[in-house]
Structures are given as structure tokens and as C-alpha cells.
Chain A
Amino acid sequence: MLNREELSKIILELVPEAEITEGTQLPEAIIPAEKLVELTEKLKSDKRTGFNYLISHTAVDFATHFMAVYHFESTEFRHIIVLKVKITDRGNPEIDSLAGLFPTCEFFEREVFDLFGIKYKNHPNLKRLFLEDDYGFPLRKDFRDEVNIIER
């Protein structure tokens, strides 16, 4: 069970340009998009960390950019880490897919694609899960749909 400092040190060791955020419930790190797959692979295979269970993956739409959020847990050491990737390109948001490393991520990513419109590079089959294809992306902050949504 590594505590917060050790986890941050390991991440900085693996990805020097990672940015550790303080004062949050769980150890967090914002990492650049191209380092995501490589870092998760190392964290999974590294004996000290062993993050082999992806609790959940989602996205948050901060008006200027998207933030892809991954929660990992190690089933051996029981410590949790949150990896976040900033996606600034709102027109065509694109990020690497983790479906190869974590099969459960394939469906989290399809859900995020369905509700946010973030595309995933080399994803096995990127199709919408809930809504039909021509519909907008409902969880985006700038999503408006006068026909269906009745504001309170």
C-alpha cells in the first residue's frame, strides 16, 4: 500500500512532465495525452504499483476543454490513483484508447463517445451505446435540445 508521496514520485519518475495536483481526496496526476497508454502500461506491469483494475473512466466538460478521468486501483496493494488527460481541441476531440490494456475500458469509452463525442484512436468498435447516430452529444455543456428537454 503506497501512500500519496510514493505514488507521485513513481509517476514523476515515469512521466517527468506529469503535473501532480494537491489537496484532493485521492492521489491525482494530469498527464499529457500521448503519454497515457505508455504510463498505464508501466503502472500495470510495475511490481511496486500493480494497477490492474480500472474502476471507471469518464469525461468532464469544462467549458474551455474536456478532461478525461481514469480511476485505477491495484487489487494487491489496494491503493487508488486518478489519471487525468486534458483535451483542448473541442472541434475534434481525440485520445488514445486503453481498450487493449483494459477490456472494460472499451465500453466506458463507447459511453463517453456517445455522451461527449470524444473519439478514441484504434478502438475495437467505436459505436454509440445509448442514442441513435444522428443525435447530438447530451452531456456537453453547450448542448441544447428545445424539442426534447423541458427545463424545470
Chain B
Amino acid sequence: MSEEIIKDVVIGENEDYIINMGPQHPSTHGVLRFEVCLQGETVKYLIPHIGYIHRGIEKMCEAITYPQIIHLTDRMDYLSAHINNEAVCLCVENALQVEVPERVKYIRTILAELNRIASHQLWWSAFGMDLGALTTFFYGLRDREKILDIFEESFGSRLLHSFIMPGGLMHDVHPNFQKRIKEFIAYFRKKLPEYDQLLTGNIIFQNRSKGIGLMSRETAIAYGVTGPSGRGSGWSCDIRKIAPYSAYDKVQFNEMLETDGDTFARYKVRMREMWESMNILEQLVDNIPEGDYTAKMKPIIKLPVGEYFQRVETARGELAVYIVSDGNKTPYRIKFRSPNFSNLFVMNTITSGYKIADLVAVSGSLDLVIPDIDR
């Protein structure tokens, strides 16, 4: 009789020991639950559970008009709020064949790049904190506040702006918008090398991120891991290069690619992307053409019957908006191909076999934003 009792109390060699890195966990950056099966400290397999922040945005969008959708899309991936709004607006404008003034294209591209830098700054602060370096949190967010000041001055809000409207912008930017950006670039060019001294050169950080979470180019393509995470494995998937939209065709910039596909490669891609975004900003900020800030749009926007597809490069990857319209003012069906949804599910293949501490480093390097996964 005693064997049975002992048997089901002690987990034997073959049974699995499953722990929960559950919804409320500092390293999951939101409400994402990893069911991790462990053998000692090495991860045997990992099952991500999502749905803890599924608000049904696609169902909501079927009942509201296009300008109203903008207020929902920037609450999906709130760290690239402008780029999400720009995706929906471009899709609507292409459907209506509306030609947006040059000024709007320049300002949209500038806002997208500023948003990318702000998102990478926050990723860098959180990634340092994941690996135990608390100072990165204060350095990164201190510089991010400079960008939020620019946003606040022009749009009144720091994080979610709903500023880019179908047809153009909600209103014109603040007069000293360009001056603030030039000040920021001058300031941040001095501060970014500090980031490298603080974390990139640190031997502990390098040992904890080199050779961990290896993802080959084929796995990246098979799992659809786009953005800096995909480019860390050598897959050139930058939509700004493949299908340039807004003012990206008027700007010279090169795509950051790394080939060895581990956590450190993804880290380097994002660090160099911050430098590249500043180059783009410098090329744009001086020659924003004059003109009005929006095209002539009817008050009620009705897309002609049909299907429309628009791809955009957010800070985390490729966001594609697929609108099926049946002619009235609300979309019949709208689907957001969110970058984090595909980036998340590669976790199992690239973390099994590594230690549980590396799991935290890999999930930090994939830079996941959970409401973008669940929508």
C-alpha cells in the first residue's frame, strides 16, 4: 500500500516537472503565461498560453467607422502607436486612391522613426532589467522622456496619440517640432554610446546572451519571425525596404542584418537600428515640405467593395492590415497580422535545451508586447 502513496507523491525520472511562468511575472512583459517543463534547470519544452488580454479588437472594429479604428489600433502595440495607425490609414488611402500631401508623408515617416527609437529605448531598459542590470532601466527611460516631450508638445499625449487620421493628420505639428527633434538627435548621439559602455561591452551580459536562443534563417521564415528578431538571423524582411511606403523611398538607409541568430545578434540589430533611425530623421527633418496637413476627405469614409492589404514595418516586425469592405462605413472584416503573434510561437524551438535563466534572456530579446499578440 505504501508504494502507491509514495509513487504518486514523488515525481519519478520520466514524469515532467511543470512550472508556470504565469500571467503575473516580471519577465513576461505583460500577461503571457509560459508552461515550462523542466529537467533540473534545463527547459525540456515550453507552451505559451495567451488570451489573458484578448479584448476582441477585431470584433469591435466591425462596428465602428475607420477614423474610430485608429483609437483602437494604437492600443494594440502601444510602443509603436504611430506605425499601427499609419498602417490602417495607408490601407484606407490606397483603397480610396487618395493622394496624401507630401508634408503628411514626411511627418508620418518622422513620427514612425521617433516611435521606433522610443520603443527600442524601452526594450533596452527592460532587457537590461531582465538580465539583472537595473541601471539600464533608468538610463533608457530617461532618454525616452525626451521623445515623449516631443510627442506631448505636438499631440498632447505621451504614449497613445491617435494623431494620424485616414487622409492625413488630425492637425498640424507644433511650430518648433523640427527644432525639438534636432535637439533630441544632438542629445541622443552623445547618449547612445553610453548604452554600449553600460551593457554591450559588459562581459557578464555577453556571456548571458551570446550563443543563446539560436534561430536559423529557415526557422525564422517558417515561423514568420519578422522585425529585428528575424533580421538577427539574417532574413532581410524590412518592409521599409521591400515595399516602401510614405517617405521611405526618398531616404537612404540600409537594413541592419546579423547572421548568427542568437540573443546577442538580435540585441545588436536593435542597437544599430537606433543609429539608423537617427540618420533617417536627419535626412527628413530639415526638408519637410510646406502644404496642408490632410487631403480632402469626405466626412463619412466608405471604402469601395473589395479587399485591401497593407504591410508596415513596426518596431517589432511586420504589421499587415487586411480589410474586407462591403461598401458601408464600417469594415466587413478587418484582420491585423500582428508581428508579436508570430514572434511569440518560435519560443518553444529556440528555448528548449537551454537553462531557465536563458529563457528570460530569449523572451527579452524577442521584445514581445502582449496586447499585440491577443488583440
Contact = CB atoms under 8 A, between A and B. Distances in A.
A24 interface: yes
A71 B322 CA distance: 10
Contacts of A71: 309, 320, 322, 337
A131 interface: yes
Interface string A66-78: 0001010001001
Contact of B51 (A54, A107, A130): A130
B307 interface: yes
A58 B335 contact: yes
A151 B324 CA distance: 22
A75 B94 CA distance: 24
A56 B337 contact: yes
B156 interface: no
B237 interface: yes
A25 B307 CA distance: 8
A55 B311 contact: yes
B306 A55 contact: no
A104 B222 contact: yes
Given A55-B337, A56-B335, A139-B58, A25 B221 contact: no
Contact of B54 (A26, A56, A131): A131
A104 B235 CA distance: 16
Interface string A98-126: 00001110110001000100000000000
A19 interface: no
B51 A26 contact: no
Contacts, number: 73
Interface string A37-80: 00000000000000011111010110000000101000100101
Contacts of A24: 306-307
A115 B51 CA distance: 12
User: Is chain B's interface secondary structure helix, strand, loop, or mixed overall?
Assistant: mixed
User: Is chain A's interface secondary structure helix, strand, loop, or mixed overall?
Assistant: loop
B223 interface: yes
Contact of A56 (B51, B63, B322, B332): B322
Interface residues of A, number: 33
B271 to A, nearest CB: 25
A101 B184 CA distance: 47
B222 A102 contact: yes
Interface string B213-227: 000000001111000
B245 interface: no
Contacts of A103: 222-223, 345
B333 A129 contact: no
B374 A104 contact: no
Given A58-B335, A107-B345, A138-B59, A75 B322 contact: no
A24 to B, nearest CB: 6
B130 interface: no
Nearest to B241: A78
A115 B375 CA distance: 12
B50 A130 contact: yes
B223 A104 contact: yes
A139 B335 CA distance: 11
B1 interface: no
A71 B224 CA distance: 12
B222 A129 contact: no
B54 A75 contact: no
Given A25-B94, A130-B50, A152 B335 contact: no
B224 A55 contact: yes
Given A78-B242, A152-B63, A104 B307 contact: no
B267 interface: no
Nearest to B311: A55
Given A69-B322, A139-B58, A139-B59, A25 B222 contact: no
Contacts of B341: 107, 111
Given A25-B94, A60-B324, A128-B51, 9 more contacts: A23-B306, A25-B307, A52-B221, A61-B333, A102-B222, A104-B224, A104-B345, A107-B341, A130-B51
Closest 7 CB pairs of A and B: A56-B337, A130-B51, A130-B54, A104-B224, A58-B335, A60-B333, A107-B345
